[in-house]
Structure 1
Amino acid sequence: MDETSTRRSFVTLGLFIIDEFAFMDEHGRPTGRVLEPQIGGGGTYAAIGARIWLPPSQIGMILDKGHDFPGPIEDALLQYGQEMWMFREQPQHATTRALNSYKGENPSFEYTTPRIRITPEDLRATGLANPKVLHFICPPARALAIMSEVQDGWSSVAVYEPVPDRCIPEELPALKKVLPLISVLSPNAEEAFSLLSIPLPPTKTMIEKATKDFLDMGVGKEGSGWVLIRCGALGAYMESRATNGRWVEAFWAEDVDKVVDVTGAGNSFLGGFAAGLELSGGDIYEAALHASISASFVIEQGGLPVISEGSAGKWNGDNPFRRLDVLRKRHEHHKD
């Protein structure tokens, strides 16, 4: 198959997960709160972040369907567009599941079934090879393996999201090895600070310093890449060695009551970023504005945002391009 003939705008190697939940008080006793299993996984949220802007035919993600894959969850996924999901039957395996436990205010996350890794070779087998943007979430050593598999004939913008539990100082040597091969490094602020042994809490000044520290390690070929640090309510900060740094606001920064659940916000941010690159012809700043809007739809509720039936282009009852216009004007006002 010609890898450029059906080239997609955004493909993720991230996983689909069925999230299950347990709620306990600070002493470990069940609170009685019950939450039904939900669609989860960093790959899923990233794909939806891109879908807010792009048609399903321009997005690609492999989903492994175990023998226990719930029909209602498949139906829910198909509402976003069948073409974006490459379902792969895995009758010998259980669907990937994870338990999200809350003990008082302290969350924890653990997989309860084995994960099935998705590789660039899998993308070749499903017609998703060489997308315009390739997104992956993994430890640095795995990122290096991924990039070694796509060096021949691929021209994808590689957006690397370090997996949270490996954002520790011990991983920095491995991270330095992969940075020259990727286009965009995007940890969140806490992850960036942990990798660099910078004490919390994050401040804008220290986030800008962390960005420069990563750039000095040589992101992209000949240092041509970007660092994009996601900072929650503070927004996001991006910089390359050739371009002055710039902040992009969180859309709901001025109305925090709209923030219900930040699960998946960072993943959806990067999906929106990829879509913004496509729609703007590669403008990084415009891409980050799109990214902020994608995250704004994800954090308004628990679970994925709702694509509105009967009103094309609306999510949670609102038009993302309307929000984009609001965010652009807010930035123009602050610039004056």
Structure 2
Amino acid sequence: MAQLDNGGNPPNKLAFCTMGMFIIDKIEYLSNAQASQDRIIGGAGTYAALGARLAAGSRLAASVGWIVDMGSDFPGEFKRLIEAWRTSCVFRFDGARLTTTAWNGYGDNEYRAFKYLTPKLRLDQDSLSDDQLLARSFHMVCSPSRCISLVHGILDRRRKLLQHTATDSAGGGAAAEADRPIFVWEPIPDLCTPEELSRLREAAGYVDVVSPNADEFESFFSEMPGYSSRELMVEHLLGLASRNGEQKPPLRTALVVREGAQGCTTYLGSTKGLHLRAYHQSKERVEDPTGGGNTFLGALAIGMTGTTAPGEGILNNLDVLKESVYCEKRLLLGLVHATIAAGYAIEQIGMPNVSTEDGDCWNGEAYPERFRKYIEREREHIIVQLSSPCG
């Protein structure tokens, strides 16, 4: 497999790397006469990289790391579009295979069907370059067992790499210790089932953020009548209360439940969640929700590293922030960036348009401007929640 770089100048240490794939999407609308869409840029990895790139801004774009596996049918215009983002994307070409392609079927009531049309090529820790391996945050979309495997694999490889680097450095000395990266995990929808509930909690203990959407989260408890409310579900996952005499140590993991048009609610050390409204409050601005969740989580991951534009300073007028648990690991900063970035992803089919000549505008509007508008609009809603004793 030949490997090609995008020609950019990656930073000494990437702020973000996604383990998700690039996919060429085919979209079919099952319940109306809307024309089918062919050859659309997609994939969880692509959208996550988009979210991280939106939050990073043009100056920090090279801090976004990801991999695009190109088959013999990979369109040249796709590569040119991705290069325009100026991320540290690694393009890998293999003329002996087709690019991973998938079919998406959309129906009424947010119904979605999905299947692969060509063999997929998943990424793991051995797929990563040294620079990618040392990223400060990782996005994963996978099963609970694969989540645990990836975390172990990434940390083991990082440790070995740093020990080797320390041994080779002048003067020897003790092996360098890497800061633990931030892990943001998105469970795959097919395994959001009652049978996977125990494995969900086990895997959640390995990551900083676990983020199903609302329907997926409830699906874990669909055959458990004793869990009839969101509060009870959160308690069970995060171990905030004993049930039937069972004691579980509480997790410090943040549970971020993505709620589509209603925004998101985050639980961290309490069943009283922090709710953020979605950026778009009108359905007229939403063309296609595909990739909105992946984009959200890519922006959240890099936001938690602080490698963003705008940075933490823009939240200073949220005067209770320093006293809130949501200040930990820049979680609130990441959540706001996630909300803004997801709004760009769903305004069209495929990727938003970027114009670097106009100040890094996406779909004709600069990202920092949207961020400021959102903070001004939602300031009171956020402050009221952060001011609560349980916040």
Q: TM-score if structure 2 supplies the norm length?
A: 0.75
Runs of 4+ displaced beyond 6 Å: none
Partner residue, 1:262: 289
Looking at structure 2, the residues matched to 37 and 134 of structure 1 have their Cα atoms a distance apart, in angstroms, of: 27
| Counterpart residue type for residue 196 of structure 1 | F
Question: Take 2:107 and 2:209, find their aligned partners in 1: how far apart are those partners?
Answer: 35
Q: Is residue 137 of structure 2 the alignment partner of residue 151 of structure 1?
A: no
| Aligned position for 2:373 | 326
Contact 2:142 / 2:188 at 8 angstroms: preserved in 1? yes
- Structure 1 CA distance for aligned equivalents of residues 263 and 229 of structure 2: 14
Name the SS of the counterpart of 2:198 in structure 1: helix
Q: Which residue of 2 aligns with 1:35?
A: 37
Asked if 1:9 corresponds to 2:15, the answer is: yes
Contact in 2 for aligned 1:211/1:229 (Cα 8 Å): no
Q: Choose from 299, 316, 320 the match for 2:363.
A: 316
> Which position in structure 1 is the counterpart of 2:244?
none
- Partner of 2:348, secondary structure, is coil
1:68 paired to 2:95: no
Aligned residue number for residue 234 of structure 2:
211
Q: Percent identity?
A: 31
Residue in structure 2 matching 1:224, options 252, 274, 284: 252
Provide the residue aligned with 1:202 in structure 2.
Answer: none
Asked if 1:294 is matched to 2:341, the reply is yes
* 1:216 Cα offset (Å): 1.4
Q: Is the 8 A contact 2:352 2:362 kept in 1?
A: yes
**Secondary structure in 2 matching 1:117:** coil
* Structure 1 residue 243, shift from structure 2 partner: 9.2
8 Å CA contact 1:180–1:222 kept in 2: the answer is no
SS at match of 2:66: strand
- Rounded to whole Å, the distance in 2 between the matches of 1:245 and 1:22 is 36
CA distance in 2, matches of 1:104, 1:178: 33
Question: Root-mean-square deviation (CA), in Å?
Answer: 2.5
Partner in structure 1 of residue 100 of structure 2: 96
Instruction: Measure how far apart 1:33 and its partner are.
Output: 2.2
1:40-55 paired onto structure 2 within 5 Å: 40-54=42-56, 55=60
Question: Would you say the 8 A contact 1:86–1:126 is kept in 2?
Answer: no
Q: Tell me, yes or no, if the aligned pair for 1:11 and 1:131 is still in contact at 8 Å.
A: yes
> Is the contact between residue 227 and residue 238 of structure 1 (CA under 8 Å) also seen in structure 2?
yes
Displacement of 1:309 after TM fit?
A: 4.0
The offset of 1:21, in angstroms, is 2.7
What SS does the corresponding residue of 1:150 show, helix, strand or coil? helix
1:259 partner letter: V
Q: How many residues align?
A: 318
Once the two structures are superposed, the pairs formed by residues 77-226 of structure 1 within 5 Å of their partners are: 77-81=82-86, 83-102=87-106, 106-123=111-128, 125=129, 127-152=131-156, 153=159, 155-197=180-222, 206-216=229-239, 223-226=251-254
Change (3 A) 1:76 1:206: farther
Which is higher, the Rg of structure 1 or of structure 2?
Answer: 2
What's the offset of the Cα at 1:251? 0.8
- Stretches of structure 1 lacking an aligned partner (at least 5 in a row): 200-204
